[in-house]
A = this chain, B = another copy of it.
């Protein structure tokens, strides 16, 4: 059973509400004196290492390059987020090791020189990482004392709102896509309807309803309908 990524499929769960939320976050970051803002999540995948998805106001070219070059594998802020849960204040100048050269050049190129990165970890080893950064002034001790509480809260808010969505986007490559029909039916199942009722509501046979349900169960790696509903909700597919 292969779960390779497909091209033409639309990403149903990419909601503009989260984009809007992120724009608000960017605005808040600006008012704190950081022009760049990046929220990233990391998910451990057995055999494959890590998967990352990010949401940022950085140039598309840079995001593409970051992903293509696999910078997340060497990025010190990401390394830090894997283990620690305290914030990291950094400057690109510190990225001296040979493998980091190219990353440092890239960061300088986009004015991403000095920053503050707050990790947030969950029980399954997944983590979220909010980074605010700017081009010119390093983050000083005084500034940190003054803003750290707000910064932490920003991270908490970003994590609370964006994590699930990005996780869904991340799992997507792993799990394969749920079809429109499958999501429709899962939504009705979550509302307590039986296969027969769903079939009636959708104008198909009971058999067809159960067919879509079992496909959804298989794609989500669930054990049964209740589990599939829970998985889908956790992934934010039924909002």
Contact = CB atoms under 8 A, between A and B. Distances in A.
Interface of A: 20-21, 24-25, 27-28, 31, 149-150, 152-153, 156-157, 160-161, 189-194, 222-230, 233-234, 238
Contacts of A150: 24, 27-28, 31
A153 B223 contact: no
A218 to B, nearest CB: 13
Contact of A229 (B31, B194, B226): B226
Consensus secondary structure, chain A interface: helix
B192 A227 contact: yes
Nearest to A155: B24
Nearest to A160: B161
A233 B225 CA distance: 15
B157 A21 contact: yes
A18 to B, nearest CB: 9
Contact of A192 (B28, B31, B224, B233): B224
A156 B20 CA distance: 10
A157 B150 CA distance: 13
20 contacts: A20-B156, A21-B156, A21-B160, A24-B156, A27-B149, A27-B150, A28-B150, A160-B161, A161-B161, A190-B230, A191-B223, A192-B224, A192-B227, A192-B228, A192-B230, A194-B224, A226-B229, A229-B230, A230-B238, A233-B234
B161 A226 contact: no
A28 B149 CA distance: 9
A157 to B, nearest CB: 4
Contacts of A223: 191-193
Nearest to A151: B24
A26 to B, nearest CB: 9
